[in-house]
Amino acid sequence: MFWWRDTVAGSAGRTADVAFTDRTGGASSGLLGSLNLGASVGDDPDAVRSNRATVAQAMGLAPERLAFMHQVHGNHAVHTTSATAGARPRQCDGQVTDVPGLGLAVLVADCTPVLLVDVDAGVVAAVHAGRPGMTAGVVDATLDKMAGLGSAAPQAFVGPSVCGRCYEVPEQMRADAARKSPESRAVSWTGTPAIDVASGVVSQLRSREVPVTWVPGCTRESDRLFSYRRDHGEGRFAGIVVLRDGAGRVG
């Protein structure tokens, strides 16, 4: 179920749980098997609901306390204060909360999932950083939204995504990405132009002096992760962050 997870401790007993799921331990079948969390990839809606409930429970949450986004590869970040299972998600690529016991989720299948945590300030965020979002500045927009809620010292957790060796693109696309983040310029396994989105994201975080934990893993190379580039039409895994208050409230 989990590719990686950890707990970040802060002051006054406050903590934050951070995790990246994989594709195991769910109810979906076929190419979507088995822990697909994406609701717009042609999966059985009952299976998706079951999968999301399974992950929520593993994170110590009721299903209605796990907030998803309608991701559009942009740079819009929102302040999320509630979630309702089955409700239409807000259109954004970054969501921030200061509400304990509310889980934030970002869905990916090659794009870079970023979880941001400022436990002492009581602010966390989830970011969907694909190539368009990385070049449009979704990471900066989300950090700015966190700052507006009092965050001064966030740290970042960057999850598995398609690596630069596996993300072959036209030369012009690589040049456009490199103008925004030179570190994203890459070469594929076959020597052709490529983009390393995660490297670009990490460089943007470090330019803001945000400490980074970069969780290893390439979606295209690992069968434990969904990859759109490897198998078109596959499902989605998630990055999830939950803020806990000093009283241990979990939602």
Q: What per-residue confidence (pLDDT) applies to 127?
A: 98
Q: What per-residue confidence (pLDDT) applies to 247?
A: 59
- Identify whether the C-beta of residue 94 lies closer than 8 Å to the C-beta of residue 72: no
CATH number where 126 lies = 3.60.140.10
Instruction: Kindly report, residue by residue over 64-113, the tens digit of the pLDDT.
Output: 999 999 999 999 999 999 876 566 789 999 999 999 999 999 999 999 99
Number of domains present in the structure of the chain: 1
Instruction: Kindly report, residue by residue over 162-221, the tens digit of the pLDDT.
Output: 999 999 999 999 999 999 999 999 999 999 999 999 999 999 999 999 999 999 999 999
Kindly report which listed range (9-13, 20-24, 144-148, 234-238) carries the lowest average pLDDT score. 9-13
Q: Is 84 helix (H, G, I), strand (E, B) or coil?
A: coil
pLDDT at 248 over 80: no
Query: Has residue 221 been placed in a domain?
Result: yes
Q: Which domain holds residue 171?
A: 2-244
Q: In angstroms, rounded to a whole number, what is the distance separating the alpha carbons of residues 238 and 120? A: 25
Instruction: Kindly report, residue by residue over 115-133, the tens digit of the pLDDT.
Output: 999 999 999 999 999 999 9
Q: What per-residue confidence (pLDDT) applies to 219?
A: 97
Q: In angstroms, rounded to a whole number, what is the distance separating the alpha carbons of residues 32 and 49? A: 14
pLDDT at 233 over 90: no
Interior angle at CA 49, CA 47 and CA 50, nearest 5:
65
- CA-CA-CA-CA dihedral for 79, 205, 201, 224, to nearest 10: -80
Q: What per-residue confidence (pLDDT) applies to 250?
A: 47
Question: Cis (ω within 30 of 0) for the bond into 11?
Answer: no
Query: Has residue 251 been placed in a domain?
Result: no
Query: Has residue 249 been placed in a domain?
Result: no
Query: Has residue 139 been placed in a domain?
Result: yes
Query: Has residue 9 been placed in a domain?
Result: yes
Instruction: Kindly report, residue by residue over 166-175, the tens digit of the pLDDT.
Output: 999 999 999 9
DSSP 8-state symbol, 33:
T
Query: Has residue 42 been placed in a domain?
Result: yes
Query: Has residue 52 been placed in a domain?
Result: yes
Mean predicted lDDT score pLDDT of the chain: 95
- pLDDT band at residue 251 using 50, 70 and 90 as cut-offs: very low
- pLDDT band at residue 231 using 50, 70 and 90 as cut-offs: confident
Query: Has residue 187 been placed in a domain?
Result: yes
pLDDT at 246 over 90: no
Considering only residues 160 and 249, tell me which one the structure prediction assigns the higher pLDDT: 160
Average of per-residue pLDDT across 54-60: 98
Run of H or E including 47: helix 45-58
Instruction: Kindly report, residue by residue over 4-53, the tens digit of the pLDDT.
Output: 999 999 988 899 999 999 999 999 999 899 999 999 999 999 999 999 99
Residue of 120, 196, 102 lying closest to 158 (CA atoms): 196
Q: Which residues contact 74 (CB under 8 A, 6 or more apart)?
A: 92, 93, 132, 133, 136, 138
